[in-house]
Amino acid sequence: MELHSNAPTGPIETAWDRHRFEMKLVNPANKRKFTVIVVGTGLAGASAAATMGELGYNVKAFCFQDSARRAHSIAAQGGINAAKNYQGDGDSIYRLFYDTVKGGDFRSRERNVYRLAQVSVSIIDQAVAQGVPFAREYGGLLANRSFGGAQVSRTFYARGQTGQQLLLGAYQALARQVGLGQVELHERTEMLELILVDGRARGVITRNLKTGQIDTHTADAVVLATGGYGNVYFLSTNAKGSNGSAAWRAHRKGALFANPCYTQIHPTCLPVHGEGQSKLTLMSESLRNDGRVWVPKNAADVTKRPQDIPEADRDYYLERKYPAFGNLVPRDIAARNAKDVCDEGRGVGYPPEREAVYLDFADAINRLGQHTIEERYGNLFEMYERITDEDPYKTPMKIYPAVHYTMGGLWVDYNLQSNIPGLFVAGEANFSDHGANRLGASALMQGLADGYFVLPYTIGNYLARAGRDLAKTPVAEDHADARSAKAEAEGRLKAFLDNPGSHGPDHFHRRLGKLMWEYVGMARDKAGLQKAIEEIPKLREEFHAKVRVPGSGASFNQTLEKANRVADFMELGELMARDALAREESAGGHFRVEYQTEEGEARRNDDDFAHVAAWEWTGKGNTPTRHVEDLDFEYVKLSQRSYK
């Protein structure tokens, strides 16, 4: 299969503007003839649904939460990037583009990333117009702070709850369209299958999570904005309901899955404490603006109170190794270094593993005063104290890396359309913008860029070009392909309910998570990845033989929901291991210990792996097929990343 990005040629600065001009348009009077399904109501989904509704399309939006306001975008804390250059510190669209390509270790499409940087400036204007309460300086101007991988301050923020405030803005726009009747919102509803008719995406099969009713919804185009798949590791910073099933259902119907091994381990999270833990807690990267990361120089001091370790015996290892960026190196680098010092026996976490490092605010409090720190991070400090019963104003935080984000996702072209015509993928669910490592504060930027400023154009272009073909094949609920997809979903759920098993899905999910963390985690090697590829199918077979799902499918049944999602994680986890094994290099969040520099940094292989790996489902039990889209670097020169 030959993959084409469909990115416009010519000067990159004007590529998106020219591309928009060359698109076909849908007459305003004809827009009401088309229906668009949007699965997911986070920042990407809510903004896309609201904007398509505003344009006059009929929109059906779906979320499995009890309210669209509770999508996982709400958990984002630190901020959103935009190349406004309000600080006058040398920022520009080109610099944001460059920082993002470099931060992703040169494994993303240049033209997609440039467009992201270009529309970032409009996102802030949109959010401010919606009333998003961004932090402001004393004179009323919007404030900025720094994030990892950048030497400028371009991150706009609303204290430590930026995602929540941006989502409320998008939700307001969505609710307006719901009130006007342009958007039909289905809450507590989960997608089970994608409907394909003549090779085009024409709808979805859903299950009402309260009543168990399985329904068929048809449309002219489908948007998946369903987030990432980090919960394949069981323990992550994601909400427990977050899952990769919508994307995986599409993958099994033919959508290519790109770079699944690119997972982000966030360096600033609360460490694991006990076997019974069900999730991990993020502490915003913004804390590294004022917090200093350190461990004792001597392993013998790890049991001492931090206040009892003199300055001369502390190792501020990020400042020592990366003086140009200090504590604000990109996430993959900060995470690996935290693991390294803990592996050396200098971790300060809970025994026996002691996997944690200190994040210390004493210098910032002495320099700026506690009141200023409270203004910047007060809710984060309060959250930390509630969870740990330690006051971070008086003693350093303990942090350790945890799974947070996935850069891999369904393959899309420049128009955010998958290889299945009519299936568009937005936000974290696609692979397009972040390469092998996402810079902090760029997830919110991508989600809103895709939803507000890209999809409304590209979906319209698709509908304008395909409209006659779509009209020739109207798809109703009783269409043969729709009935087949519904029967497939019903059969899968019935198999879980009829299975005479002995363990709940969490039992198997936790075991899968341990395999993934050990062999497909922060440090990977050939032997470990082969072990994962060997062990995961055995666990998957045991899962299907022994999983127990009590109750009925005709009512509220969270165990059934989990079983369906864990089944998909079992297949996705194996694909992640295969992708990591095939990619014989280190790049960003994908760190193969065999491929590192003398200084322990990631060593890429640009000759053989400067490409996107897009995997094709070939049937249950079959080895998937790996396809390649070569990456061209015309504007950013390939080089060894350095933050020193």
Indicate which residues carry an active-site annotation.
331
Positions of E strands within 407-551 = 409-410, 423-425
Distance CA(82)–CA(554), nearest Å, equals 47
C-alpha R_g of the chain: 24
Distance CA(644)–CA(642), nearest Å, equals 6
Nearest CA to 238 among 163, 146, 159? 163
Ranges of H-type helices in 314-412: 317-321, 331-341, 362-368, 370-388
- Are 296 and 315 in contact, with CB atoms under 8 Å apart? yes
Positions of E strands within 277-419 = 292-296, 314-315, 357-360, 397-406, 409-410
Distance CA(316)–CA(293), nearest Å, equals 6
- Terminal CA-to-CA distance of the chain, rounded, Å? 41
- Are 613 and 579 in contact, with CB atoms under 8 Å apart? yes
Distance CA(219)–CA(138), nearest Å, equals 49
Q: How many helices (H) and strands (E) does the chain have?
A: 18, 19
Q: Which amino acid is it at 433?
A: D
Assess whether the previous peptide bond of 352 is cis (omega < 30° from 0): yes
Residue count (the chain): 644
* Cβ contacts of 473-478, under 8 Å, gap ≥ 24: 473/197, 473/198, 475/195, 475/197, 475/202, 475/203, 475/218, 476/218, 477/216, 477/218
- Are 328 and 439 in contact, with CB atoms under 8 Å apart? no
Q: Which two tokens stand for residue 299?
A: 């392993």
Distance CA(52)–CA(632), nearest Å, equals 32
The DSSP code sequence of 560-595 is HHHHHHHHHHHHHHHHHHHHHHH--S-BTTB-BTTS
User: Residue 312's Cα: distance from chain center in Å?
Assistant: 40
The DSSP code sequence of 104-119 is TTS-S-HHHHHHHHHH
Residue 196 has φ and ψ, to the nearest 5°, of -110, 135
**Residue 622: left if φ>0, alpha if ψ -120 to 50, beta else—which one?**
beta
Nearest CA to 182 among 61, 272, 338? 61
Q: Coil, strand, or helix at residue 33?
A: coil
Nearest CA to 619 among 580, 573, 571? 571
CB proximity list for 325: less than 8 A, separation 6 or greater: 148, 149, 151, 643, 644
Looking up tokens 């920082």, which residue turns up? Answer: 99
Looking up tokens 């045991």, which residue turns up? Answer: 542
